[in-house]
């Protein structure tokens, strides 16, 4: 079959050395030109020929043959035409079967075959061919068609896009090719999904490679920005979110107007219209704060240091002027990200605000206990997680103030006879511990509140002697009693960690907790 012949040709070209590759170049290029000029008649062959062209061009571009302008122009034109044919083929498939929205594997499994099991591709017996693509007539076999599309996208992401600058050279040609790829492949893959980030892995690889090409910024910036602004952006699992981390970072590194625009949305003043839905307005502000947290999370250490004064100003303004618990909860999440992404000494001016707000939240709890199911409970949990992280990080700037919140002396372990709670966590442990347990919450009395048993609040230091937050796996509480174990054990756990950890922090666990709070997978 043709697929076998092209596979043999690709193997042959891979083994050629530079001088021999130059000798073969002229004859192979003529074949490629013939196919590219009659793309309508040779659509299935275009993909196999593009693979061979990339192999041969990679060798020829390393020789002096590419100093010849004619050779360079022939490569640009032929590679560009074959790539456009393959990209357009994928684009047309989205109109017929919407394979991307369903996922490649689902599409293959769900392919119509008169109610019987899906037919096996003809080339499945050959592992090498199965890896590279199906037979020459994918339109006749729905399974083969979907498989070809998958292989096309995989090839574009792993080979074609990384070599665009080498083969096309001219930035304008590179930009045009990238625009076509985004229009026909990336945009359809990210639109109309309940979980926008959970796109096909091959499409994700294409976007990652596009983000590495400066000339491609205009092509992929729009779809990625729309994705970030989608209200369903956080409806995915944490592992998927981590795969988009480099792409979002590239967006804000290359588009200098993106970060100020995001900060502007965070600080938008409340509407004066009396008919405005206040609850929806607060939800949108909370979403924008979470977007800010994720963008900061994508950066390296001190990556956004120059923007810190503006970020700090916006967060302080929200804490002072916005009383909504859902919004303030997101502020504490953002503070946690800042603690992990900025050096402690760079946050010197921020410490008074953090300490004051934490003190205010916990003091308010001691005065008025939030009722079960209250909106304030999420704020209490967010503040507790912020304190939990501060205790795990044990920065010098916080250590001198931690006595306000926990007992940081040996009294935490060996309490004297006349001991009485002074630190806020110890006081809260006593107050919450004395609350009556409702009959409908017998599970709380047995230490299994909300499905979280005592071991959920694991010690700050575990067997590997690394400090990590105690509340890492807790996402939601239905009652203040769900934090009783944390209030009761945080002082002793923090004290013991100082001596047991040797200053080692489990940063992987810390970051896993952050991204887990941002993305709820619903």
**Percent of the chain beyond pLDDT 70?**
80
Question: What is the C-alpha end-to-end distance of the chain, expressed in Å?
Answer: 47
Reference 166, options 71, 14, 58; nearest CA is 58
Instruction: State how far the Cα of 474 lies from the Cα of 489, in Å rounded to an integer.
Output: 16
Q: Which residues pair with 467 in a beta bridge?
A: 461, 505
Per residue in 473-507, pLDDT tens?
899 999 999 999 999 888 888 888 877 777 789 99
Reference 490, options 406, 431, 427, 365; nearest CA is 406
**Residues 450, 373 share a domain:** yes
Average pLDDT over residues 456-474: 70
Tokens standing for residue 53: 């062209």
pLDDT category at 112 given cuts 50, 70, 90 is: very low
Per residue in 363-401, pLDDT tens?
999 999 999 989 999 999 999 999 999 999 989 889 899
Residue 275 is predicted with a pLDDT of 59
Residue 96 is predicted with a pLDDT of 60
Are residues 365 and 480 in contact, defined by beta-carbon separation less than 8 angstroms?
Answer: yes
Total domains, the chain: 2
**CB-based burial label for 356 (10 Å; 0-12, 13-18, 19+):** exposed
Residue 336 lies in a domain: yes
Residues 6+ apart with CB under 8 A from 124: 130
Instruction: Output the pTM of the full model.
Output: 0.83
Domain span at residue 19 reads 2-249
Are residues 450 and 476 in contact, defined by beta-carbon separation less than 8 angstroms?
Answer: yes
Is the confidence at residue 205, as pLDDT, over 70? yes
Is the confidence at residue 458, as pLDDT, over 80? no
Reference 307, options 332, 285, 334, 325; nearest CA is 334
Which value, to the nearest 10 degrees, does the dihedral of the CA atoms of residues 367, 371, 374, 377 take?
60
Alpha carbon 44 to its chain's center: 35
**Residues 274, 244 share a domain:** no
**Residues 321, 224 share a domain:** no
Are residues 123 and 129 in contact, defined by beta-carbon separation less than 8 angstroms?
Answer: yes
Residue 323 lies in a domain: yes
Instruction: State how far the Cα of 57 lies from the Cα of 40, in Å rounded to an integer.
Output: 24
Is the confidence at residue 121, as pLDDT, over 50? no
Where among 201, 218, 249 does a domain terminate?
249
**Residues 149, 280 share a domain:** no
Residue 344 lies in a domain: yes
**Residues 195, 148 share a domain:** yes
Residue 456 is predicted with a pLDDT of 46
Residue 258 lies in a domain: no
Residue 255 lies in a domain: no
Alpha-carbon distances of 514 from 239, 336, 370, 373, 458, rounded to whole Å? 12, 8, 25, 24, 17
Per residue in 232-244, pLDDT tens?
999 989 999 999 9
Residue 107 is predicted with a pLDDT of 41
Residue 244 lies in a domain: yes
Q: Give Dmax (Cα) for the chain.
A: 95
Residue 58 is predicted with a pLDDT of 92
Are residues 299 and 246 in contact, defined by beta-carbon separation less than 8 angstroms?
Answer: no
**Residues 122, 29 share a domain:** yes
Is the confidence at residue 114, as pLDDT, over 50? no
Per residue in 325-361, pLDDT tens?
999 999 999 999 999 999 999 999 999 999 999 999 9
**Residues 372, 415 share a domain:** yes
Is the confidence at residue 411, as pLDDT, over 60? yes
Residues 6+ apart with CB under 8 A from 443: 449
Residue 257 lies in a domain: no
Residue 419 lies in a domain: yes
**Percent of the chain beyond pLDDT 90?**
49
- Out of 55-64, 192-201, 412-421, least confident range: 412-421
């Amino acid at each position: 079959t043709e697929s076998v012949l092209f596979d043999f040709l690709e193997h042959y070209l891979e083994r050629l050395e530079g001088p021999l590759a130059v000798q073969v170049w002229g004859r192979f290029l003529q074949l490629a030109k013939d196919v590219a000029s009659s793309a309508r008649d040779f659509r299935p062959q275009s993909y196999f020929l593009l693979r061979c062209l990339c192999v041969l061009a990679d060798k020829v571009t390393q020789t002096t043959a590419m100093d010849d302008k004619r050779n360079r122009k022939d490569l640009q034109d032929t590679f560009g035409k074959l790539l456009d044919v393959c990209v357009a083929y994928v684009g047309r498939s989205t109109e017929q079967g919407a394979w991307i929205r369903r996922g490649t594997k689902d599409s293959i499994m769900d392919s119509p075959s008169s109610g019987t099991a899906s037919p096996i591709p003809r080339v499945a017996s050959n592992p090498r061919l199965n890896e590279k693509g199906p037979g020459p007539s994918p339109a006749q076999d729905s399974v083969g068609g979907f498989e070809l599309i998958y292989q096309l996208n995989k090839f574009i992401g792993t080979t074609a896009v990384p070599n665009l600058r080498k083969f096309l050279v001219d930035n304008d040609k590179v930009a045009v090719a990238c625009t076509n790829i985004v229009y026909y492949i990336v945009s359809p893959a990210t639109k109309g999904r309940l979980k926008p980030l959970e796109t096909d892995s091959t499409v994700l690889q294409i976007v990652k490679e596009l983000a590495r090409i400066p000339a491609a910024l205009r092509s992929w910036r729009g779809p990625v920005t729309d994705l970030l602004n989608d209200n369903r952006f956080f409806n995915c699992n944490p592992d998927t979110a981590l795969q988009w981390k480099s792409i979002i970072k590239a967006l804000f590194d290359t588009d200098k107007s993106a970060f100020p625009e995001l900060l502007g949305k965070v600080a938008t003043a409340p509407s004066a219209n009396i008919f405005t839905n206040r609850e929806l307005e607060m939800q949108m502000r909370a979403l924008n704060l979470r977007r800010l947290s994720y963008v900061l999370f994508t950066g390296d250490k001190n990556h956004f240091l120059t923007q810190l004064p503006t970020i700090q100003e916006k967060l302080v303004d929200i804490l002072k002027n916005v009383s909504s618990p859902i919004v303030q909860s997101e502020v504490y999440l953002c503070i946690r990200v800042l603690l992990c992404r900025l050096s402690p000494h760079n946050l010197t001016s921020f410490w008074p605000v953090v300490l004051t707000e934490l003190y205010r939240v916990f003091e308010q709890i001691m005065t008025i206990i939030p009722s079960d199911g209250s909106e304030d409970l999420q704020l209490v949990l967010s503040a507790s997680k912020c304190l939990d992280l501060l205790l795990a990080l044990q920065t010098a700037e916080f250590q001198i103030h931690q006595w306000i919140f926990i007992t940081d002396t040996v009294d935490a372990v060996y309490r004297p006879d006349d001991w009485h709670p002074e630190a806020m966590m110890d006081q809260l442990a006593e107050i919450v511990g004395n609350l009556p347990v409702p009959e409908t919450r017998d599970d709380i009395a047995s230490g299994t509140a909300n499905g979280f048993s005592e071991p959920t609040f694991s010690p700050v230091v575990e067997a590997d002697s690394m400090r990590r937050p105690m509340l890492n796996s807790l996402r939601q509480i239905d009652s203040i009693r769900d934090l009783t174990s944390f209030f009761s054990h945080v002082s002793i756990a923090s004290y013991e960690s100082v001596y047991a950890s040797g200053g080692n922090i489990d940063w992987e666990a810390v970051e896993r907790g952050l991204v887990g709070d941002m993305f709820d997978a619903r």
